[in-house]
């Protein structure tokens, strides 16, 4: 009879009180509610400042053709009310989608470890030994027991407490980082937002005049303070959620790194969840890949719209994404890559022991030996991938990861006019 591992779940909701109160709400319903509120706020703000626009201002097809010089279109008019600003509507979508994805991600994280323990794929170690890696990770600081079946439970409890205390202490700093990212984006908007649509036939002085008129007409420009405030608030919410998401992400990677010293990995050979007991991890990482893809695509769009000259202003957003991509992919893969081999070897050893060390032909119960042999064959064919990505997800994720790099290289080496250089620069 195997000893059951005692484990509490990691609780990401301790870092954000709003989500903590809504932790049991359906994430997609929450996204719809947030979307309605955000859309209402920016629509009301632009309407109050007289920059909401009319139906005739909605011209995404024409602006797309102007962006890539497709077909024959009239030169862009330097008027950008909210209804024409597709970029801002996309950023609103990103904010809303990020809130929904993060909420769902945290829900899955908040029951992942207990789910793994219930599936029997996390087992107590025979002896709790904290080796060199544990000392390097300072795991001993969070483990106050020598009983193997209680070590992980103790560790997670301490992590939850420490994380809640530190986030509460450093909340102003996290808010300051979020505000800095948003202010940098606002400066980039002022410097480069409409360069992609400026008519190239104009002289340099006329282009400068066109850009000034375009920015002045923009619903969230300095000339429309109510719209600017609404833009800042919505972008701040998105940036703050992203900062917290990555804080939780780093903590999760730390927990994953410590897991091999606190528990043994195994597999559910009844395969009741279709993934040999590892479905809770797969579901969490699916949201990770979706989130990374969304943010990679957003960075790509910002590079297209703002141009390479605004890269210093969005460097913070790019830096966060560049750092977390390898962290969230490479570290879990490295730590989980041997789960399959070790689980299979343990299972084969257990099945072999059922034969008492005899060959199948020497077994007194030939029918039983054949059943064991079939089970060994099934074990060897099993595919256990705790962080496996399906092909459609992998292709989407790969495009989102590579696209920002490709766009940057294209603008540098091939002078693609996604983001035009400033007139007079």
pLDDT, tens only, 315-328: 888 888 888 888 88
CA angle 39, 186, 188 (to 5 degrees): 130
Could you tell me which residues are beta bridge partners of residue 265? 122
Number of neighbours of residue 86 by Cβ within 10 angstroms: 15
pLDDT mean across residues, the chain: 85
Q: Is the pLDDT of residue 117 over 70?
A: yes
3-class SS of residue 420 = coil
**Do 116 and 277 contact (CB within 8 A), yes or no?**
yes
Please tell me the least confidently modeled range out of 48-57, 61-70, 82-91.
Answer: 61-70
- Token duo for residue 375: 């089970």
Give the DSSP letter string of 135-201: HHHTGGGG-----HHHHHHHHHHHHHHHHHHHHHHTHHHHHHHHHHHHHHHHHHHHHHTTGGGS-TT
* CA–CA distance, 407 with 135 (Å, rounded to integer): 42
Question: What separation, in Å, do the N-terminal and C-terminal C-alpha atoms of the chain show?
Answer: 75
Q: What is the DSSP string of 368-391?
A: HHHHHHHHHHHHHH----TT---H
Nearest to 89, CA basis, from 304, 259, 202, 234:
234
Asked which of 138-152, 157-171, 229-243, 390-404 is least confident by mean pLDDT, the reply is 390-404
Do 309 and 192 form a contact (C-beta atoms < 8 A)? Answer: yes
Question: Residue 413: pLDDT above 80?
Answer: no
* pTM, 2 dp: 0.87
In this prediction, residue 410 carries a pLDDT of: 57
The CB-side HSE value for 406 (13 A sphere, CA atoms) comes to 10
Domain spans, the chain: 12-266, 337-388
Residue scoring higher pLDDT (134 or 21): 21
Residue range 354-365: mean pLDDT, rounded = 65
Predicted confidence at residue 362, as pLDDT, reads 59
Distances (CA, A) of 149 to 16, 143, 407: 30, 12, 51
What is the C-alpha to C-alpha distance for residues 262 and 322, in angstroms, rounded to an integer?
30
Comparing 63-67, 262-266, 345-349, which segment has the lowest mean pLDDT?
A: 63-67
- Distance from the Cα of residue 203 to its chain's centroid: 44
pLDDT at 331: 85
- Give per-residue pLDDT as tens, 155-188: 899 999 999 999 999 999 999 999 999 999 999 8
Average pLDDT over residues 270-289: 92
Evaluate whether 10 touches 162 at the Cβ level (below 8 Å).
no
43 pLDDT more than 60: yes
Q: What's the pLDDT score for residue 1? A: 47
pLDDT score of 279: 94
Q: Above 90 in pLDDT, residue 267?
A: yes
Cβ(171)–Cβ(216) under 8 Å? Answer: no
Q: What phi and psi, each to the nearest 5 degrees, are found at residue 264?
A: -100, 145
What percent helix, strand, coil does the chain show, rounded to 5?
Answer: 70, 0, 30
Q: What are phi and psi of 59, to 5 degrees?
A: -140, 60
Alpha carbons within 13 angstroms on the beta-carbon side of residue 86 total: 13
CA 171 to chain centre: 21
Mean pLDDT of 359-380: 76
Give the distance from CA 172 to its chain's centroid: 23
pLDDT winner (highest mean) among 21-25, 60-64, 137-141, 208-212: 21-25
> What is the per-residue pLDDT for 83?
93
């Amino acid at each position: 009879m195997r000893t059951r591992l005692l484990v509490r779940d990691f609780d990401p909701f301790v870092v954000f009180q709003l989500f903590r109160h809504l932790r049991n709400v359906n994430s997609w319903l929450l996204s719809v509610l947030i979307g309605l509120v955000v859309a209402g706020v920016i629509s009301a703000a632009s309407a109050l400042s007289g920059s909401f626009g009319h139906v005739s201002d909605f011209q995404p097809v024409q602006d797309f053709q102007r962006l890539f010089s497709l077909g024959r279109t009239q030169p862009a008019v330097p008027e950008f009310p909210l209804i024409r600003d597709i970029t801002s509507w996309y950023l609103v979508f990103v904010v809303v989608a990020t809130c929904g994805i993060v909420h769902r991600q945290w829900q899955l994280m908040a029951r992942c470890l207990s789910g793994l323990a219930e599936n029997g794929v996390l087992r107590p170690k025979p002896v709790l030994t904290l080796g060199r890696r544990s000392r390097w990770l300072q795991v001993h600081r969070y483990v106050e027991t020598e009983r193997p079946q209680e070590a992980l439970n103790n560790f997670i409890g301490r992590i939850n407490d420490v994380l809640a205390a530190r986030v509460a202490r450093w909340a102003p700093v996290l808010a300051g980082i979020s505000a800095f990212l948003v202010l940098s984006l606002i400066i980039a908007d002022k410097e480069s937002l409409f360069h992609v649509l400026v008519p190239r036939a104009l002289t340099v002085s006329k282009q400068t005049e066109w850009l000034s008129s375009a920015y002045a007409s923009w619903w969230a420009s300095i000339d429309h303070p109510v719209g600017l405030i609404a833009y800042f608030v919505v972008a701040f919410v998105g940036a703050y959620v992203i900062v917290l998401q990555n804080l939780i992400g780093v903590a999760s990677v730390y927990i994953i790194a410590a897991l091999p010293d606190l528990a043994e990995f195994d597999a559910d050979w009844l395969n009741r969840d279709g993934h040999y007991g590892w479905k809770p991890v797969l579901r969490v990482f699916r949201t990770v890949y979706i989130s990374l893809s969304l943010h990679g695509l957003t960075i790509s769009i910002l590079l297209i719209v703002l141009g390479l000259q605004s890269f210093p202003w969005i460097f913070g957003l790019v830096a966060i994404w560049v750092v977390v991509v390898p962290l969230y992919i490479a570290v879990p893969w490295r730590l989980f890559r041997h789960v399959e081999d070790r689980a299979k070897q343990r299972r084969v050893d257990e099945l072999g022991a059922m034969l008492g060390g005899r060959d199948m032909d020497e077994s007194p119960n030939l029918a039983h030996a054949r059943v064991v042999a079939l089970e060994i064959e099934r074990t060897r064919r099993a595919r256990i991938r705790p962080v496996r990505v399906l092909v459609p997800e992998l292709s989407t994720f790969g495009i989102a990861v590579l696209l920002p790099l490709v766009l940057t290289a294209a603008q540098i080496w091939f002078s693609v006019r996604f983001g035009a250089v400033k007139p007079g620069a």
